[in-house]
Amino acid sequence: MDDLESDETVSLLSDATAKLTSTVGSLPELLEKKRLIDLHTTVATAILNQIKQRKLDVLFEAEEKIMNGLLSNASVIELMRQSSVHEDTLRIMLINYLCSSNTSKNELKEQADYLKEIGMDDAAVKYVKQLRSISNMSLNRVTNDYSGGGIKTDNMFSNLLNRGSQLFMEGVKNLVPKKHNLPLTKMVDAIITGNLQCYSRSDAEFRYYDPKLMHSSGKEPQRARGNPPQDVIVFVIGGGNYVEYQNVVDYGKSKGLARITYGCTELVNPKQFVEQV
């Protein structure tokens, strides 16, 4: 009887020792997991504090309403006064000015005066005013007389500025992420699928280069019908942004692409973008 109890005691001690050894062995892994959890908790807390401090949830909803024409100008100036960060105040005014067509001169002056009141430079406002005036310009046709003959030529410079401002305006309306493709993503989709007729910009031109087809005929090579490419590189000559990058990446995932890479000449955050404007 004593031998049986002794064997049970030894067995229990052995099990306890094995569990203790296992726990001690996994302690570094547990400590690393705790460190990662603490790190993510700290980051999440900091982000939440910024959201509360800057009222980003309110701004997000307001920008949605502005771009859908559901926010009055009276609400815009009130929102500007409630904003705790001056860059957010300027951004609200710029988005409203670019996306709203019924802002009166008095309302615009009131908003601009408030920017001056809080010490914000109005250079960005002047720039978007000029940009909008360019986008509203009709394409002028210039008549040059040579030897009594009238020759009509397109004002190519105005045409170029008009196209550029239209692209800018189209992009501004998509500053807030939504569940739809941004202009760049639509262009990528048109090129990948070869369905260029569905691309909304009628003045867009694309070139397709394939070493196998370059010398096959005198005509410009066309993309062969078949499976779409699986490795795509999108590079923007000029400024890029994270929203555009994320939209392109999400598109690649939805289409089952093996890899899609986004690049640009310069990637700036919202604060840097406002400073550049």
Dump pLDDT digits (tens) for 140-183. Answer: 433 344 344 433 434 444 454 455 445 444 444 444 445 678 88
Distance between CA atoms of 99 and 17, rounded to whole angstroms? 70
Structure confidence at residue 175 (pLDDT): 42
Q: Please report the pLDDT score of residue 276 as a whole number.
A: 79
The fold of 183-276 is Rossmann fold (3.40.50)
How buried is 240 (Cβ within 10 angstroms: 0-12 exposed, 13-18 middle, 19+ buried)? buried
- What is the per-residue pLDDT across 102-141, written as a single tens digit (0 to 9) for each? 788 888 889 989 999 999 888 888 888 887 777 666 434 3
261 pLDDT tier (thresholds 50, 70, 90):
very high
- Indicate whether 244 pLDDT > 70: yes
- The span from the CA of 56 to the CA of 22, in Å, is 47
DSSP assigned state of 206: -
pTM value is 0.54
Using DSSP bridges, classify how beta strands 231-240 and 149-154 pair: parallel, antiparallel or unpaired.
unpaired
| Position 65 confidence tier, pLDDT thresholds 50, 70, 90 | confident
Task: Locate the domains of the chain by residue range.
Answer: 55-147, 183-276
- Higher per-residue pLDDT: 103 or 77: 77
Query: What pLDDT shows up at residue 7?
Result: 62
